[in-house]
Amino acid sequence: MTTANKITLVRIALIPFFVWFAMQGDPVSDTIALVLFCVASVTDFLDGYVARHYNQVTDFGKFVDPLADKLLVTAALVLFAERLLFPAWMVFIILAREFIITSLRNVAAAKGQVMAAAWSGKVKTCVQIAAIICIFLFSIVTGMGVPLPAFLPGLCAWVATLVTLYSGYDYLHRNWELVAEGATKPKL
């Protein structure tokens, strides 16, 4: 197993610990969850760098790395929705985008095509991570009794959702011929 893949597996292994601490909802647990989330997020960039720099790109890594990212972000968003820090309907939109693009990638792969990562997808990931970090910081600070404007988590949620919607539109627009072909050409 390559170093890059081991780093990805560490990220996946951190998720249950992150979830457990994030579920507690107190400032100390949120701080630990935030640290775990940040460490896991850094491993996302680190495993990609190691894979490219040391020529360790594998099919396993191509599958597991995006899965690990989605599991981490989904865990945070679902927990925030449960804690009323992120509207559930926005979580649904973000998850719907992930399912749609993943499905589109699967269709492309079945046709022997590779759907390259778009810049908007990278921006989307960074914005989602930043929004999750900001919401954790809001929860920690307000949990310690420091008053902050109540609209801050909602603002983070809106920014993350709008950037995610744009990214989904961008992927669909760039690959519309794949969608259109699948909708009009019967499989024999």
- Which domains are present in the chain? 3-184 (1.20.120.1760)
pLDDT in tens, 155-170: 999 999 999 999 999 9
Question: On the CB side of 57, how many CA atoms lie within 13 Å of its CA?
Answer: 6
Q: Which helix (H) or strand (E) holds 171?
A: helix 152-174
CA distance 184 to 52: 38
pLDDT in tens, 86-115: 999 999 999 999 999 988 988 888 888 877
Residue 183: the pLDDT is 64
Scan for tokens 């519309």, then name that residue.
176
Residue 187: the pLDDT is 65
Taking residue 69's Cβ as centre, other Cβ atoms within 10 Å add up to 19
Q: What is the pTM of this model?
A: 0.91
Under-50 pLDDT residues of the chain: none
Taking residue 117's Cβ as centre, other Cβ atoms within 10 Å add up to 12
CA distance 175 to 165: 15
Angle at 187 between CA 181 and CA 188, to 5 degrees: 140
Greatest C-alpha distance within the chain: 64
Contacts 24+ apart (CB under 8 A), 142-148: 143/25, 143/26, 143/27, 143/30, 144/27
